[in-house]
Amino acid sequence: MNQFHYLRSRTERDAIEAAAQRIDSRFLAGGTTLIDLMKLEVERPTEVIDINALPLAGIEPLAGGGVRIGAMARNSDVAHHELIRKQYPVLSEALLSGASPQLRNMATVGGNIMQRTRCYYFRDLSFDCNKRLPGSGCPALEGFNRIHAILGGSDKCIATNPSDMNVALVALDSVIRLQGPRGERTIPFDQFHLEPGDTPERETALESGELITAVDIPAAPWASNSLYLKLRDRASYEFALASVALGIEMSDGRIKTSRVAFGGVATKPWRARNVEEVLAGQAPSEDLFARAAAAAIEGARPRRDNSFKVELLQRAVLKALRMLRQNGAREGRA
Ligand SMILES: Cc1cc2nc3c(=O)[nH]c(=O)nc-3n(C[C@H](O)[C@H](O)[C@H](O)COP(=O)(O)OP(=O)(O)OC[C@H]3O[C@@H](n4cnc5c(N)ncnc54)[C@H](O)[C@@H]3O)c2cc1C
């Protein structure tokens, strides 16, 4: 690990001012991503700003509906919170499908949003990587690319965003609250993570010195009728190969509105608006579900080792739709 200066901030202002002074500083939340990457020397900050003393761990209902989750709320506290379990099961399930209980006790909402890819080439300094060193190349394109993206990639990078929580948050129309040197701003979750394009080193819309302070999730009828389905190589302690966040609002036996997002298959938390359009206004049926699954892979660009994800994602969409329909039938909704 390289030498770095450690600073424990007591206020948001201190943290932001410190971060704005050094472009290679990093906020330290739970440390479950950052410290690993520092040990691997993938991250080499000269200053680490510990934000654990900031009062940002609240989970509060918003006036008029919805919920505000502080950036320092731990993943396990969010997952087990009554309001989240009842109103946003997709978020609770996504969080509980991730990592291990010990990691979830440490990991925070802000850190989870910002966690970096698990691409083997990104995490191994003996390989080139356009994210680490722009222009150096991407060995994943022609190399072992089983875990890589089939959606949203470019000829510079096909690394996936590994977060489960992010998939639920993008489906739920969440909004990220940021505090920075120029004040406060908000950004829709779907616009926060960036596709790699020609600049894979730029992963988010976060600007220098900006701190994530909270995530706002609006109230919505589809949010409580929602689920998260995660497919992976083993049943726990494993990242997604394909995952689906799904929420549906029914009216008179038809799908009034839906929210659909994918993880494990894309370079960013992937909101599938084209699938939502297929479902809108339709009565649930196997034929409809098959059309939704087919839409899920529109624009997919599989590589040598990850072409199985084309089939896997379609099966995941089918299964998620069937599961939610069965839940609805049990509870008398559909
Ligand atoms: C073995 C293992 C298995 C895992 N499995 C899964 C899994 O299955 N699914 C899954 O989704 N995740 C998984 N994870 C990842 C885990 O969810 C993340 O490591 C965790 O969410 C990161 O949160 P943290 O608070 O520890 O972040 P940190 O490590 O403290 O920070 C991560 C990054 O976020 C930045 N950051 C932190 N807080 C803020 C803030 N408020 N504002 C701006 N920037 C901030 C930091 O500077 C850093 O760059 C796994 C991790 C490990 C180690």
Indicate the burial class of 152 (C-beta count within 10 angstroms; 0-12, 13-18, 19 or more): buried
pLDDT for res 331: 72
| pLDDT-above-70 percentage for the chain | 99
Probe target for ligand 1 pocket from 26, 34, 37, 238, with the most ligand atoms within 8 Å of CB? 34
| pLDDT-above-90 percentage for the chain | 95
Probe target for ligand 1 pocket from 33, 47, 163, 211, with the most ligand atoms within 8 Å of CB? 33
Give distance in angstroms: CA of 116 to centre of ligand 1: 8
- The amino acid occupying position 277 is E
Are 211 and 178 in contact by the 8 Å Cβ rule? The answer is yes
Q: What is the mean pLDDT of residues 129-137?
A: 98
Token code pair at residue 175: 């909004």
Are 107 and 28 in contact by the 8 Å Cβ rule? The answer is no
pLDDT tens profile 195-206:
999 999 999 999
Strands 47-50 and 25-28: parallel
Probe target for ligand 1 pocket from 26, 28, 32, with the most ligand atoms within 8 Å of CB? 32
Give distance in angstroms: CA of 331 to centre of ligand 1: 35
Decide whether any atom of ligand 1 lies within 6 Å of the 28 Cβ.
Answer: yes
CA terminus-to-terminus distance, the chain? 55
Residue given tokens 């300094």 in the structure block: 125
pLDDT for res 333: 60
Give distance in angstroms: CA of 295 to centre of ligand 1: 31
Q: Which atom of ligand 1 is nearest to the CA of 240?
A: 8
Can you say how many angstroms the Cα of residue 196 is from the centroid of all Cα atoms in its chain?
15
Token code pair at residue 43: 């991250």
pLDDT for res 98: 97
Backbone angles phi, psi at 274, to 5 degrees: -65, -35
Q: Whose CA is nearest to atom 50 of ligand 1?
A: 99
Q: Which atom of ligand 1 is nearest to the CA of 239?
A: 8
pLDDT for res 95: 98
pLDDT for res 103: 98
Is pTM beyond 0.85? Reply is: yes
Decide whether any atom of ligand 1 lies within 6 Å of the 212 Cβ.
Answer: yes
Q: What is the mean pLDDT of residues 53-65?
A: 97
Helices (H) then strands (E): counts for the chain: 13, 12
Rounded CA-CA distance 161/267 in Å is: 5
Decide whether any atom of ligand 1 lies within 6 Å of the 34 Cβ.
Answer: yes
pLDDT tens profile 151-208:
999 999 999 999 999 999 999 999 999 999 999 999 999 999 999 999 999 999 999 9
pLDDT for res 38: 98
Decide whether any atom of ligand 1 lies within 6 Å of the 66 Cβ.
Answer: no
Q: Which atom of ligand 1 is nearest to the CA of 71?
A: 41
Q: Which atom of ligand 1 is nearest to the CA of 112?
A: 21
Decide whether any atom of ligand 1 lies within 6 Å of the 167 Cβ.
Answer: no
Token code pair at residue 209: 């010195």
Q: In what order do the strands lie in the sheet with 25-28?
A: 5-8, 47-50, 25-28
pLDDT for res 23: 84
Q: Whose CA is nearest to atom 3 of ligand 1?
A: 99
Task: Provide the mean pLDDT of the chain.
Answer: 96
Q: Which atom of ligand 1 is nearest to the CA of 114?
A: 34
Rounded CA-CA distance 108/3 in Å is: 25
Decide whether any atom of ligand 1 lies within 6 Å of the 114 Cβ.
Answer: yes
Residue given tokens 């009842």 in the structure block: 86
Q: What is the mean pLDDT of residues 82-105?
A: 98
pLDDT tier, 334 (very low <50, low <70, confident <90, very high otherwise):
low
Lowest mean pLDDT among 17-21, 95-99, 248-252: 17-21
pLDDT tier, 332 (very low <50, low <70, confident <90, very high otherwise):
low
Rounded CA-CA distance 61/94 in Å is: 20
